[in-house]
Chain A
Amino acid sequence: MLASVDWHVVWVRVAHPDHAFFIALTRTVYIAVIAQIMGVILGLLAALMRMSKLRILRVLSGIYVWIFRGTPLLVQIFFVYLASNQLLGFTLIPNSLNGGFFKLDGAIFAGILALGVNEGAYMREIVRAGIDSIDKGQMEAATSLGMRYGLAMRRIVLPQAARVIIPPLGNEFNNMLKNTSLLFTIGVYEMFADAEIGYSNSFQPTEYFLGVAFWYLVLTTVWTFIQAGIERKLAASERGEELSFRERWQAAWNPARGGIFMRSPSR
């Protein structure tokens, strides 16, 4: 019954959440960001391995994707946090990481690792589709000029492939923001954990879960706008604006010209 809901609590959870909640929110965001970056890097590596001349690398890349897309994310999270140290025989997941100015809880570390590695398996397909979409002549032209494969990949193929990679990458990050909630199960104090603890102290499930749902919606909505902004910047302007598509693209990559990516111009 709606009447039994304490709307004041809902209002507080939505509009005036406490400090602990903001810490949890921040944690959700940085876990998602770091795990996504990790996923992109692993996806790129796995995609390059998939295209390698060496059979062993292709096979490894295939096994990676097969395992991480074929098992539940929740199982992977538990496996990394609880089973990896035992399995590997060394401490992959420490109780806590202390890097001087930053401290990381072992569970958070495990969570980021699990989410990132899982994400890499999905990113591999996205990166590969992006690279495949670039005409083979681009790589041939670059290597014919005496550029090494890696250099040609980095300077010629990947910048063009990024245009194809970025829209699905944005969707992946939307998923990532939501998937961080699974980390509550290994004791990471993120947004969902905050709601869960609030609920178990108060037995007010509607109030707390409505509140946290609202904040997930805020995060994903903000991201949707950011993503739309990025895509607008990259999108072809065949409508004939003052900038050609190439110039927009160039501008997007070049921080000196107001670009969106943290990429230092190579000198």
Chain B
Amino acid sequence: MNANGHFVSLQGVTKRFGDLEVLHDINLDVSEHNVVCLIGASGSGKSTLLRCINLLEQVDAGSIVVDGQPITGTKVDVNQLRQKIGIVFQAYNLFPHMTVLQNVTLAPRKALGISRDKAEAHARALLRQIGLEEKSDEFPDRLSGGQQQRVAIVRALATGPKLMLLDEITSALDPQLIGEVLELVRELAQSGMTMILATHEMSFAREVAHKVCFLDAGVIHEEGPPEQVLSAPQEERTREFLARVLEGGRL
């Protein structure tokens, strides 16, 4: 917990790729046990923002504090930070040459030094919770997209993170598979996991988020409780974006 009572705190974060400024002066606070949803059009910078928080990208200006520790300065132990943060990607990124169980146990064993037996017992318990224990010895390509994404979430949880970053984790899924993945995220939220998720699922955001942030061209234009941002947006841009999403039948 950091001095101002937030688990994650971004101040004036700016990120450029060459001449392109992808994030501009972002300020964002996330309290412990809260869920923050990032919404915004494609290319607005949602993924980049999440990637900055676990240092997959280096910020060009501003500071990020996670769990009371500044992570944007020098002398940051990147691996230690990342063990506190789980990230799940749109494309699952499971390791295709390893079984489900190996996918889940590799990092606990090799990065945290947990014994094989303990790691496997923990992994099996987690897989049982999501009803995939019997898939433990299957390779990822034998699983449905929804199952793969749930394994990816479990893999991220296996190192015991305090913060989860979910980057459009249902975007690559067939509509009938989205429900099972969102159900798992819902359970995580109810268990008190601190989460930041980029999503196009507005109704899901409305349901689980404590705060919704609308990003446009690298700027947070509007933020607030979901009822406000999603139902009574103050900003013209937010209204336009939501109208477009509604037309797309995503609500």
A159 touches B110 (CB 8 A): no
Q: How near does chain B come to A113, taking the closest CB pair, in angstroms?
A: 34
Interface of A is mostly: helix
Q: Which residue of B lies closest to A138 (CB)?
A: B93
Contacts of B155 in A (CB 8 A): 145
Q: How near does chain A come to B56, taking the closest CB pair, in angstroms?
A: 6
Give residues in B with beta carbon < 8 Å to A: 54, 56, 78-80, 82-83, 85-87, 89, 91, 93-97, 99, 106-107, 110-112, 116, 139-142, 152, 155-156, 159
Q: Which residue of A lies closest to B111 (CB)?
A: A146
B139 touches A144 (CB 8 A): no
The number of inter-chain residue pairs (CB within 8 angstroms) is 77
A145 touches B95 (CB 8 A): no
A137 touches B93 (CB 8 A): yes
Q: Specify which of B83, B94, B142 is in contact with A244 (CB 8 Å cutoff).
A: B142
Interface residues on chain A, number (Cβ under 8 Å):
25
With A and B bound together, what is the CA distance between A267 and B99 in angstroms? 16
Verify if A232 is at the interface (C-beta below 8 Å from B): no
B116 touches A146 (CB 8 A): no
Contacts of A148 in B (CB 8 A): 79, 111
Q: Which residue of B lies closest to A162 (CB)?
A: B97
Q: Which residue of A lies closest to B156 (CB)?
A: A145
Q: How near does chain A come to B197, taking the closest CB pair, in angstroms?
A: 15
B56 touches A146 (CB 8 A): no
B89 touches A140 (CB 8 A): yes
A151 touches B110 (CB 8 A): yes
Verify if A33 is at the interface (C-beta below 8 Å from B): no
Contacts of B89 in A (CB 8 A): 137, 140-141
Contacts of B78 in A (CB 8 A): 143
B80 touches A146 (CB 8 A): yes
Verify if A246 is at the interface (C-beta below 8 Å from B): yes
Question: Can you report 25 A-B residue pairs in the complex whose CB atoms are below 8 A from each other?
Answer: A135-B91, A135-B93, A137-B93, A140-B93, A141-B152, A144-B86, A144-B87, A145-B82, A145-B83, A146-B79, A146-B82, A146-B83, A146-B111, A147-B106, A147-B107, A147-B110, A148-B111, A155-B106, A160-B96, A246-B96, A246-B140, A246-B141, A247-B139, A250-B99, A250-B139
Q: Specify which of A140, A159, A244 is in contact with B56 (CB 8 Å cutoff).
A: A140
With A and B bound together, what is the CA distance between A155 and B106 in angstroms? 9
